[in-house]
Chains A and B, each alone.
Chain A
Amino acid sequence: MLAKLVKYDLKSTLRTALVFWAAALILAVYNHFSVRYMFEDETFVGTLNGAVMGLFFTVMASLGVVVLILIIQRFWKGLLGDEGYLMFTVPATVHQLVLSKALSATVVSALSALTGAASIMIIMPSEFWNDALRFIRAFEEEHGFGLTDLIVIAVCALICMCCACLMLCFKLYTVMSIGHLARRHKKMLALFSWFVISGIENYIGGRIYLAGPGLMTRAEMLFDSLASSSGYTAAFCVMLFSAAAVNLVVGLIYYLLTCRILDSRLDLE
């Protein structure tokens, strides 16, 4: 059932995201050919190229905002609005419903990040990539850290980003569920809950930091020891996976809280 719910949600989110992804990629391809003439050509074409580049960055900035709006809207409208009359009557648990929203949001976020990265890579002229590859090969020969390592770290960073996105989704879901408990001013209560929960998060984070003196120093020592024993790639990956694990633990708390609220206090009126 979880897969079916994710499929239903992806249908809804992808149709919006696809427009932005297509726009980013098309503009990137145009800019790839026009970027080298942008600052040399002062004619109408040069101005047009500059405008297209500006448009590209606007689309890229909008993409992040759109993904955030989609995360919020799919939960607020899709579960707590009238669409909830459909979703809460399908043979699924509340856990599956909440998880499906978060997973589809994470998939869209990851694909948006990849599209953004791909668009920037497309814009760069081929000379840049030739120089970059030459530099990476030279660096690998000297320090033993090459393209494969960069790809491994990029994959780990993407996984870490997905975990952070899951945590953000569950946190947003928690505050929206709390807001929905109110009879009136639901959005205001949700916003207020966001600030309260963020405050609590910061307080607990601060206490943990203060409880373990030299936490950052220890992390640096761990990184150095890993780098010297297993190499920089392993050290980076361990650090990224540690950050992912922290996000997953915090996300799990928000997920359970959201499910608890929806399971026991749901009222779509």
Chain B
Amino acid sequence: MSELIRCDRLCKDYGAQPVLNQLDLSIESGRIVGLLGPNGTGKTTFIKLLCGLLRPSYGSVTIGGYAPGPETKAMVSYLPDRLYFADWMRAKDLIGSFADFYSDFSRERAEAMCASLGVAPGQKIKSMSKGTKEKLQLILAMSRRARLYLLDEPIAGVDPAAREFIMNTILANYPREATMIISTHLIEDVEEILDEAMFLQGGRVVMHDSVANIRAQGKTVDGLFREIFRIAPVYGTDLAERTGGRDAR
């Protein structure tokens, strides 16, 4: 398999605050990678750097040999963690615009997914529920034959049944030769489909390994996540008093 993403000493600061710090990594084609870490560890920033929404403060990132720009945007399908629609549009307007913008977009696939996910193409986006809007955004991202899919928290804020539904939709519609990066902290729901897990902490990759290797050590990705990011609870004085000074744990 060929290398698709390469980061060399990639740094991103917001003012004086470093968010990503000296990231060196390589991701091959055809992999499903879990970008894992608690909130505020730089997952979204990393994804934004990959899709060209941010510029690195230092270092470099390339996708298919290109720095983020029109060439990489043509091969990256991005599902952001927020809704980007103009409210006046209808689903069919957006499908039309995507068909215009992306040569790898399949209108037929989008319409078929709309039918199976219960999104009415003629409905105004303004009148859609938040869940339907999220479905539509997912449809648009997955109707492309991209080389790289960047899914930022695709299952955050939805109930467990819907999570399974969304994951199935993603899996059923992505080309096997493409790479998919899924950013999430709901690891249990994505663990089964991951080929690799990448743990981010403090803007650094603290671990990047194949899921097969993790399992070979007798661990699960979720278990490893809890191990790496375990936070000791802080107990207030009133609890210490109530427990008579004993260890509250």
Identify the closest chain A residue to B77 (Cβ).
A89
Q: Is A195 an interface residue (CB 8 A)?
A: no
Which residue of the partner chain, among A12, A15, A90, A265, contacts B101 with CB atoms under 8 Å?
A90
* Other contacts beyond A84-B84, A85-B80, A267-B54: 6, CB < 8 A: A1-B101, A89-B78, A90-B73, A90-B102, A91-B74, A266-B54
Question: Which of B15, B51, B86 is A83 in contact with, Cβ under 8 Å?
Answer: B86
With contacts A4-B101, A11-B93, A83-B86 known, is A88 near B53, CB below 8 A? yes
**Contact status A86-B54, CB under 8 Å:** no
For residue A86, which residues in chain B have a CB less than 8 angstroms away from its CB? 84-85
B235 part of interface (Cβ distance < 8 Å)? no
Residue pairs across A and B with Cβ atoms less than 8 A apart, 22 shown, are A4-B100, A7-B100, A8-B101, A11-B93, A82-B82, A82-B84, A83-B85, A83-B86, A86-B84, A88-B52, A88-B53, A89-B51, A89-B53, A89-B78, A91-B71, A92-B70, A93-B70, A266-B54, A266-B55, A267-B54, A268-B48, A268-B53
Bound-state Cα–Cα, A88 to B50, Å: 12
B86 touches A12 (CB 8 A): yes
Chain B 76-102 interface mask (CB, 8 Å, partner A; 1/0):
101010111110100001000100111
Q: What residues on A are CB-neighbors of B97 within 8 Å? A: 8
- Chain B interface SS verdict (over half): loop
Binding site for B on A (CB under 8 A): 1, 4, 7-8, 11-12, 15, 77-78, 82-86, 88-93, 183, 263-268
A11 CA to B80 CA, complexed, in Å? 23
With contacts A90-B73, A91-B71 taken as known, whether A82 is within 8 angstroms of B83 at the C-beta atoms is yes
Q: A12-B88, A266-B54 are in contact. Are A91 and B82 (CB under 8 A)?
A: no
Q: Which of the listed residues B14, B78, B85, B86 has the most CB atoms from chain A within 10 Å of its own CB?
A: B86
Tell me what chain A mostly uses at the interface: helix, strand, loop, or mixed: loop
Nearest CB in chain B to that of A74: its residue: B86
> Bound complex: CA of A77 vs CA of B100, how far in Å?
21
Return A173 CB to nearest CB of chain B, in Å. Answer: 18
B69 adjacent to chain A (CB < 8 Å)? yes
Which chain A positions have C-beta within 8 A of B83?
82
User: In the complex the two chains form, what is the Cα distance from A264 to B54 in whole Å?
Assistant: 8
Known A-B contacts A83-B85, A83-B86, A93-B69; A8 and B100 likewise in contact (beta carbons under 8 Å): yes
Query: Which partner residue on chain A sits nearest B101 by CB separation?
Result: A90
Tell me the smallest distance from the CB of A4 to a CB of chain B, in Å. Answer: 4
- List A contacts of B82 (CB < 8 A): 82, 85
Ranked nearest first, the 7 interchain pairs of A and B with the lowest CB-CB distance are A91-B74, A85-B84, A91-B73, A86-B84, A90-B101, A4-B100, A91-B70
Q: Which residues of B contact A84 (CB under 8 A)?
A: 53, 84
**B75 nearest in chain A by CB position:** A91
Bound state CA distance, A83 and B88, in angstroms?
Answer: 12
Write out the residue numbers on chain A whose beta carbons fall within 8 Å of the beta carbon of B88: 12, 15
From residue A42, how far is it (CB to closest CB) to chain B in Å?
A: 44
- Bound-state CA distance A83–B53 (Å) is 12
Q: List residues of chain A with CB within 8 A of the CB of B84.
A: 82-86
Determine whether the beta carbon of A91 is less than 8 Å from that of B102.
Answer: yes
Give CA–CA (A160, B102) in the complex, Å.
Answer: 35
- 1/0 per residue B26-61: CB within 8 Å of A? 000000000000000000000010011111000000
Contact residues in B for A263 (Cβ distance below 8 Å): 55
Q: Provide the residues of chain A in CB contact with B80, threshold 8 Å.
A: 85
Pair A89/B100 contact, Cβ less than 8 Å: no
Taking the closest CB of chain B, its distance from the CB of A101, in whole angstroms, is 13
Within 8 A of A (CB), among B89-130: 93, 97, 100-102
**Which residues of chain B from 1 to 30 have a CB within 8 Å of any chain A CB?**
14-15
Q: Give the contacting residue for B55; candidates A89, A92, A93, A264; CB below 8 A.
A: A264
| Chain B positions within 8 Å of A7 at CB level | 100
Nearest CB in chain A to that of B74: its residue = A91
Cα separation A263 to B68 with both chains bound (whole Å): 11
A8 to B94, CA, bound (A): 9
> How distant is A121 from chain B, measured CB to nearest CB, in Å?
32
**Who on chain B is nearest to A12 by CB?**
B86
| A91 B53 Cβ-Cβ under 8 A | no
| B102 → A minimal CB distance (Å) | 7
Instruction: For residue B94, give the distance in angstroms from its CB to the closest CB of chain A.
Output: 9
- Give A93's nearest chain B residue, CB to CB: B70
When distances are taken between beta carbons in the complex, the residues of chain B under 8 Å from A93 are 69-70
